[in-house]
Chains A and B, each alone.
Chain A
Amino acid sequence: MSPLLAIDDLSVTFARSGLLSRLINPFPLPSFNVIDGVTLSLMPGETLGLVGESGSGKTTLARTILGLVRAAAGRITFEGRNVATPADFRAMRRRSAMMFQDPVASLSPRLRIGALLTEPQIIQGLPMPDRRAAAKALLALVGLPASFVDRFPHELSGGQARRVGVARALAMKPHLLLADEPTAGLDVSVQGDVLNLIGELKRELGFAAMIVTHNLAMIRHVSDRLAIMYLGRLVETGPTQDVFSAPLHPYTATLIQSEPIPDPRRRSQNPAVTGEIPSVFRRPSGCEFHTRCPIARDRCKTEAPAYRPMGTDRMVRCHFPLVTGGQEREAFSRASANHRGN
């Protein structure tokens, strides 16, 4: 099977030009790779979780895939065709949908839900004999009452606004759904609701999804594959279950260990990692994670590790990956020894 979406060596550059940053640093600065050499693919029907901390470039990557941000280098292939010109991106956007990070802000406040739900089709010039009926059908699809067609976005709860976001995204029957933090700010129960809804609709309609998040506890249940990002670069990809049970990159391992566990009998003894997250605008030399990596060695400070395959379906960017049974794995567990009780 060929991938639905393939990204090859994609980079995005931003000039650091804001007034504030000029005040902080008056020297003319070159531009910076916010996304650097990302290679990734998504199979039809697959769910990929894109995980990374704030500022690591997740939103930027999602927006670049849809052509909302211009790539400085690299190739995007969608359904077997190269996507390069604005017309290509428009064609691709017609077959894909994006759920934005802040659902209420991304819904126009002056339009009623009914109009918001059918707006994308109208913009695309698709025929729609009865807008109200079409909107009500979409509301039913996401489990909201038909009476919501007359409501305004600010009259919805957080969870309801996400449901409207899902309905709006799916109105176009996309082949690809890009969801940026689809459950940020939601309570666990409502989060479960929204994710169950996306899961059900996926099974029914068969689209592929890329879910951008920093919520590991959630993504482990809803994704088939994971891609971990640090400072605009992928550091690890692999099947979700494998990555969770045996992370190869020390950063992935620290992320998993940092998650607070809802069990007072298993409190963490030490933070898995110390130090601040560096900025993409000031990347550390060598391996970018060396300033915080519990098993960094001298080589890591000077030589950047290559992004290389491990086994058949995993990739990792580290000189000393935590291979099961290997001494790095052991060194890592020693460095975070006594991390949690049993």
Chain B
Amino acid sequence: MTGSLAASNLSVRYETPHGAVHALRHVDIEAHPGEVIGIVGESGCGKSTLVTALANLLPANARIDGSISYNGVDLAKLDAHHQRLLRGDEIALVGQDPMTAFNPVLTIGDQLVDFQHHRKDLGRAQKRARIAAMLGRVGIADAERRMNSYPHELSGGMRQRVAIAAALLTDPGLLIADEPTTALDVTMEAQIIHLLRELRRDYNGIIIVVSHHLGVIAELCDRVYVMYAGEVVEGGEVDAIFHDARHPYTQALLACDPARFHEKLDRLPTIPGSLPNLTQPPSGCVYAPRCDRAFAPCVSVAPPLVKLSVSHMARCHAVTP
């Protein structure tokens, strides 16, 4: 399908002196134009690894298996030159810390002009006009003056808006936002959530939002993939994930969020145990050591991906359609 993205049986391992870290294992995801996809899970579960693999930006010690296709084209089959072209033109990544996205010694305007280097058809004045319009679009008042500012002169919330504007200037088919609000205060976070939601109305590409914050995912996304220890353990429409979660990990994760409880709790709910060591992932279910529903096959046999409805699936021995 035009503009669609799919990863199938995608695995990534990082070679380190202490052995290979199996950061991503047999992940299947898909995304279609106009959709906002959420990737949620605890720190270290592989969210950033997944999206950096999609953006073809993995570090040199990463080894990748499986396939990623965009627009029906298998990215692995493209030569390096075309991969780079695709990355620059079609895929834009907005990171967690908006400060690191910018060069501290250049003005915002100069950097945003450089971001449009692929638009050989536009002159500098036209590029600056596009920038001014885009900055206005992301809610920066006084865009002309802001273009002459340096990154440190902007607040965190403003820098994140500029980073989003920069990403959109390349007209990407896929916009990836990795923890876009984690570094922001709650009032600024709410403003960025609303900005992204407004943008999707007239942006016809795919937006992927990565967050460990369930509230942000619930506010923004159409479909959600839940990750645990390098695997996608459940995927579905946002409503199904938040109101009809079937995987024991998703259920436990939702139950832990203090934002769900308005009455004061004496003890906050937790998930006993800790993440498995990703240098030696367990042979059965990755969640088995912490799962209160684990039974015999869970420790030895990897659970199948069970299809619960057209769009809802969970990787668990205990779920049935």
Contacts and interface: CB of A to CB of B under 8 A. Distances in A.
Interface in B173-228: 185-191, 193-194, 212-219, 221
A260 B253 contact: no
A53 B186 CA distance: 8
A148 to B, nearest CB: 14
Interface in A43-64: 53-54
A338 interface: no
Given A187-B212, A260-B218, A268-B219, A221 B42 contact: no
Given A220-B258, A255-B187, A261-B218, 9 more contacts: A54-B156, A185-B43, A186-B43, A192-B267, A240-B264, A259-B186, A262-B217, A262-B218, A272-B187
A189 to B, nearest CB: 4
A265 interface: yes
Contacts, number: 135
B155 A220 contact: no
A263 interface: yes
A242 B301 CA distance: 51
Contacts of A196: 267-268, 270
Contact of B189 (A217, A260, A267): A260
A187 B219 contact: no
A244 B269 CA distance: 21
A40 B232 CA distance: 48
B15 interface: no
Interface residues of B, number: 49
B119 interface: no
A130 interface: no
Nearest 7 CB-CB pairs, A to B?
A260-B215, A192-B268, A217-B259, A53-B185, A262-B214, A192-B270, A258-B190
Contacts of A216: 186
A188 B158 contact: no
Interface of B: 42-43, 152-153, 155-158, 185-191, 193-194, 212-219, 221, 238-239, 242-243, 252-254, 256-262, 264-271, 274
A193 B267 CA distance: 9
A329 to B, nearest CB: 19
B219 A267 contact: yes
Contact of A260 (B155, B219, B274): B219
B186 A241 contact: no
Q: Interface size class for chain A?
A: 35 or more
Given A274-B191, A276-B157, A277-B187, A259 B215 contact: yes
Nearest to A222: B268
A157 B274 contact: yes
A221 B264 contact: yes
Given A264-B239, A276-B158, A254 B259 contact: no
B153 A188 contact: no
Contacts of B256: 188-189, 192
A74 interface: no
Nearest to A187: B42
Contacts of B267: 192, 196, 199
Contacts of B185: 53-54, 214, 277
A101 B42 CA distance: 20
B106 to A, nearest CB: 16
Contacts of A259: 186, 215, 259
A195 B268 contact: yes
Contacts of B189: 258, 260
Nearest to A185: B43
Nearest to B153: A24
Nearest to B182: A185
Given A261-B219, A261-B259, A241 B264 contact: yes
Interface string A242-283: 001000000000110011111111011011111011000000
B215 A261 contact: yes
25 contacts: A20-B152, A54-B185, A185-B43, A188-B258, A189-B252, A191-B268, A192-B270, A195-B268, A217-B258, A218-B258, A244-B262, A254-B187, A255-B186, A255-B187, A258-B189, A259-B186, A260-B218, A264-B242, A265-B239, A268-B219, A272-B187, A272-B190, A276-B155, A276-B158, A277-B155
